[in-house]
Amino acid sequence: MDLLQANGVVKKYANHLALDHVDITIPEKQITGLLGPNGAGKTTFIRIINHITMPDEGTILFKGKPLNASDIYHIGYLPEERGLYKKMKVGEQALYLAQLKGLSKRDAYQKLKYWFEKFEIGAWWNKKVEELSKGMQQKVQFIVTVLHEPELLIFDEPFSGFDPINANLLKQEILALKEKGATIIFSTHNMSSVEEICDNICLINKAKTILKGNIDDLKQQFKNNEVAIEFNGDPAAFRNKLNGNYIIKELIEQHHKHTAKIQLKTDKNINNLISLLINDFQISGINEILPKMDEVFIKAVETSNSNQ
Amino acid sequence: MNKILLIINREYLTRVRKKSFIIMTLLSPLIFAGMIVVPGWLNTQKDTKEKIIAIEDMTGLYQDVFENTDYIKYQYQHKKEAIEKKEALQKGFEALLVINSNLLQNPSDVQLISEGQITMNVQNNIKHQLNTYLRNEKLSSYKIDGLDEKIKEVNNLRVDLQTIRLDEDGKEKQSSAMFAMIIGMVSALLIYMFMLMYGTQVMRGVIEEKTNRIVEVMISSVKPFQLMMGKIIGIGLVALTQFGLWVILTLAVIFTLQNFVFNPEPQQIQQTMEMAQNNQISQASQTQEAAAKFNEVMTIIEDANIAGIIALFLFYFIGGYLIYSALFAAIGSAIDNETETQQFVMPILLPLILSIYVAMAAFNNPHGDIAFWFSVIPFTSPVVMMSRIPFDVPTWELVLSMAILACSFLILTWFAGRVYRTGILMYGKKVSYKEIWKWFIQAGK
């Protein structure tokens, strides 16, 4: 089931079209990466979900019903450009922001205590925000975002400003939230983190959705029919054997082993390759090369740009 | 609605707890009270040092003219011990008065010689005593019967102009232009000061939220309009708190100073004003008169419908603050940092500054055309109308001015809200008036 469904969403600004009939579906209890080059329209879309701006056209369904203002209680949003009131004390500020999200003061206090202990930041409660390092502020901000246990969480570049240890901690927390049943929209330019945590992606380019779906499916779709094969034997013989039927893109020798990257022609598959080689070479490993997400990203964007 | 209360609460508490607010709120009443009490106190302190004036009377005509006062003593020098001027001053005399000839014939042939500057008080006393004596001399030279009696009668004549205003129902009311002016001036200045101080605080608050980048977090929980109004109202309450504390503390300080520190006569303050007006009156009658005047002022205060003035003051205070702070909020939302404020703040400051000039002019002509128009235009009306109110503004003018102020508050807040909504999410753009107008139009779509 889809938690959020955007159909034909259009948003115009004075000088440009930010979203042009965008259709996006966010499956429930999964992590969906919202990707796209700078200025593609991601932030505008997120702002529309958050009821910060209104679409000019199109509908947004939240749990099957048109999105309305009270739904923001079920949404937690960590914007890319984030900040806190510098002069306010950490605890006081967290309580304030939690209450604005509809929590009662007592609930907010109790939940904050839990999270502050979990992140080991209880000692900061009475410190002013300006005394905290940037990473520490990010932690506070993350807590405030998830505190009211929203059904939909939107993280815009959540890892920026974190050291690897804390980034990992955060990643674990995000995955734990998903386990608990939260639906997560994850907007980032960091493709390796997309690969690590996303189930689906949705790629926006120049105000249009150009690609969406399950990551594994997309990788299949974008694969180049390439195979990496490790073997022992004479590389020249190897070249001869494959000549004409397969394209050898790369052949390197390493630790007395040879590794070749081979592109299959459309009428061939891995089994054909294996049966061709199996009698003459000792094959120690073979696997299909799936594209990395950044390759998918670049390819999709370039295709869509050249189609215009 | 609950959210706007939360925002108001935060805006209010964070400001009221600031050290700068506490210091300013506690220290200012001392300064205000000082400005009111110190002149009165100084008045009681003057001339406590005894001054001796030596008199060298060459003519011998004025031997018993000068009477000693509390602090000024006159000492005649007889001819045989006539001393050199320098010497006289070194002997400890404050000054040397030399009368060279008959002053009735030659009134300018008298000199007061001293090393330092002679205070006005001493000069006035000498002039006063000589004048009185010479006038009586001159009169008695006409040889009129019963002259002494007549002189007394003449001297006791004094006009005390009573200013009476007629009520609408024809009832007579005593008025005091002086008192009205003070009320008008103080309330106009207070409104001006608070609009400026707290309006710019609203702007700074908005810029702070924008540069801190907390604004996007905020508006994912609350509507931009709630955020803006919460800030405006919260800061407005801070202003009212400060104002209330100032009034209470100032009164407390004055009361304390008067009763326990300076301990002057109760009418001291009033007396100071009176003395400034006519310092010819002799000390004794002055005190009496001051007491009478004081009572008079008290009745005027009671008559002046103080409750009405306070209610109007609060209305214009709040109304003026609201329209200016809405504009300041719109400006704050349009720019990225405080250094860029200049070009947008100037056009807002102009009517504000203009209003204070018009208010000054309105003291002299509270019912003129200029005073009327500027007390109807919403950008100047809070200050200008307050300066006119003590002079009994016609009810319809008041209603008109208040209605326009209320309407423009609604319109300006609506305008500011739309600019604000777009502005707070705009970064790194050099903003122009055209741009702001575009936001305003666009927000409607």
Q: What is the per-residue pLDDT across B23-48, written as a single tens digit (0 to 9) for each?
A: 999 898 888 877 777 777 776 665 56
Quote the pLDDT of residue A93: 92
Is residue B21 located within the same domain as residue B62? no
- For chain B, say whether A81 makes contact (Cβ under 8 Å): yes
Q: Which residues contact B6 (CB under 8 A, 6 or more apart)?
A: A96, A99, A100, B230
Quote the CA–CA distance of A95 and A105 in Å, as a whole number: 7
Q: Which residue has the higher pLDDT, B337 or B86?
A: B337
The torsion angle over the Cα atoms of residues B84, B85, B88 and B90, rounded to 10 degrees, is -110
Quote the CA–CA distance of A229 and A214 in Å, as a whole number: 27
Is residue B101 located within the same domain as residue B37? no
The total of structural domains in chain B comes to: 2
- Cβ contact B328:B199 at 8 Å: yes
Provide the pLDDT confidence category of residue B114 given band limits of 50, 70 and 90: confident
Query: Does residue B77 fall inside a structural domain?
Result: yes
Q: Is the pLDDT of residue B291 over 70?
A: no
Q: Is B38 helix (H, G, I), strand (E, B) or coil?
A: helix
Of the candidates A92, A103, A111, the residue with the CA atom closest to the CA atom of residue B9: A92
Chain A nearest C-alpha distance from B212 (Å): 5
- Is A81 within 8 Å of B427 when comparing Cβ atoms? yes
CATH code, A224-289: 3.30.70.1570
Is residue B264 located within the same domain as residue B373? yes
Q: Is the pLDDT of residue B445 over 80?
A: no
Chain B nearest C-alpha distance from A270 (Å): 51
- Closest chain B residue to A148 measured between Cα atoms? B221
- For chain B, say whether A252 makes contact (Cβ under 8 Å): no
Query: Does residue B168 fall inside a structural domain?
Result: no
Query: Does residue B165 fall inside a structural domain?
Result: no
Quote the pLDDT of residue A68: 86
Quote the CA–CA distance of B48 and B205 in Å, as a whole number: 53
- Is B217 within 8 Å of A144 when comparing Cβ atoms? yes
Q: Which residue has the higher pLDDT, A24 or B115?
A: A24
- Is B217 within 8 Å of A99 when comparing Cβ atoms? no
Quote the CA–CA distance of A292 and A289 in Å, as a whole number: 9
Query: Does residue B408 fall inside a structural domain?
Result: yes
Provide the pLDDT confidence category of residue B302 given band limits of 50, 70 and 90: low
Provide the pLDDT confidence category of residue B81 given band limits of 50, 70 and 90: low
Least confident of B44-53, B181-190, B246-255, B273-282: B273-282
Pairing of strands B172-174, B164-166: antiparallel
Percent of chain B residues past pLDDT 70, beyond the cut:
78
Chain B nearest C-alpha distance from A78 (Å): 7
Chain B nearest C-alpha distance from A259 (Å): 51
- Closest chain A residue to B2 measured between Cα atoms? A100
Sheet of A282-289, strand order: A247-254, A257-263, A226-232, A282-289
Label residue B50 exposed, middle or buried (CB < 10 Å: 0-12, 13-18, 19+). exposed
Is residue B244 located within the same domain as residue B317? yes
Mean pLDDT, to the nearest integer, of B251-257? 81
Considering only CB atoms, A83 lies closest to which of B7, B10, B214, namely B214
- For chain B, say whether A152 makes contact (Cβ under 8 Å): no
Is residue B338 located within the same domain as residue B299? yes
Q: Is B230 helix (H, G, I), strand (E, B) or coil?
A: helix
Q: Which residues contact A38 (CB under 8 A, 6 or more apart)?
A: A189
Is residue B104 located within the same domain as residue B244? no
Mean pLDDT, to the nearest integer, of B56-63? 80
Q: Is the pLDDT of residue B306 over 80?
A: no
Is residue B22 located within the same domain as residue B76? no
Is residue B386 located within the same domain as residue B417? yes
What domain range includes position B94? 51-156
| Alpha-helical segments (H) within B224-341 | 224-256, 268-277, 283-303, 306-334
Pairing of strands B164-166, B110-113: unpaired
Mean pLDDT, to the nearest integer, of B213-223? 87
- Is A81 within 8 Å of B216 when comparing Cβ atoms? yes
- For chain B, say whether A99 makes contact (Cβ under 8 Å): yes
Is residue B228 located within the same domain as residue B251? yes
Task: Give span(s): CATH 3.30.70.1570, chain A.
Answer: 224-289
Q: Which residues contact B354 (CB under 8 A, 6 or more apart)?
A: B374, B380
- For chain B, say whether A14 makes contact (Cβ under 8 Å): yes
Q: What is the per-residue pLDDT across A18-71, written as a single tens digit (0 to 9) for each?
A: 899 999 999 999 999 999 888 888 988 998 998 888 888 999 999 989 988 888
Quote the pLDDT of residue B267: 46
Of the candidates B14, B47, B379, the residue with the CA atom closest to the CA atom of residue A85: B14
Is residue B257 located within the same domain as residue B229? yes
Query: Does residue B167 fall inside a structural domain?
Result: no
- Is A75 within 8 Å of B216 when comparing Cβ atoms? no
Considering only CB atoms, A52 lies closest to which of B14, B213, B220, namely B220
Interface of B with A (CB under 8 A): 3, 6-7, 10, 14, 208-209, 212-214, 216-224, 425, 427, 438, 442, 445
Crossing angle of helices B306-334 and B177-212, in 10° steps, is: 30
Is residue B299 located within the same domain as residue B393? yes
Q: Which residues contact B383 (CB under 8 A, 6 or more apart)?
A: B188, B191, B192, B195, B316, B320, B352, B355, B356, B358, B359
Quote the pLDDT of residue A134: 84
Is residue B8 located within the same domain as residue B58? no
- Is B438 within 8 Å of A79 when comparing Cβ atoms? no
Query: Does residue B164 fall inside a structural domain?
Result: no
In the Cβ-directed half-sphere of A102, how many Cα atoms lie within 13 Å?
A: 15
Cβ pairs bridging A and B (under 8 Å): 59
State ipTM. Answer: 0.81
- Report how far apart, in Å, the C-alpha atoms of B40 and of each of B45, B257, B262, B271 are: 9, 11, 10, 8
Quote the pLDDT of residue B439: 78
Quote the CA–CA distance of A106 and A52 in Å, as a whole number: 28
Chain A nearest C-alpha distance from B189 (Å): 32
Query: Does residue B107 fall inside a structural domain?
Result: yes
Percent of chain B residues past pLDDT 90, beyond the cut:
23
Task: Give span(s): CATH 3.40.50.300, chain A.
Answer: 2-220
- For chain B, say whether A130 makes contact (Cβ under 8 Å): no
Query: Does residue B161 fall inside a structural domain?
Result: no
- Which residues of A fall within a CB distance of 8 Å from B218? 100
Of the candidates A297, A286, A289, the residue with the CA atom closest to the CA atom of residue A218: A297
- Is A82 within 8 Å of B213 when comparing Cβ atoms? yes
CATH topology of domain A2-220: Rossmann fold (3.40.50)
- Which residues of B fall within a CB distance of 8 Å from A83? 212-214, 217
- Structural domain ending residue among the three candidates B156, B188, B212: B156
Of the candidates B58, B115, B110, B112, the residue with the CA atom closest to the CA atom of residue B89: B115
Query: Residue B121 maps to which CATH number?
Result: 3.40.190.10
- Which residues of A fall within a CB distance of 8 Å from B5? none
Low-confidence ranges of chain A (pLDDT < 70): 308
φ and ψ of B63, to 5 deg: -70, -35
Quote the CA–CA distance of B71 and A216 in Å, as a whole number: 106
Quote the CA–CA distance of A2 and A60 in Å, as a whole number: 12
Q: Is the pLDDT of residue B69 over 70?
A: yes
- Closest chain B residue to A142 measured between Cα atoms? B217
Quote the pLDDT of residue B440: 80
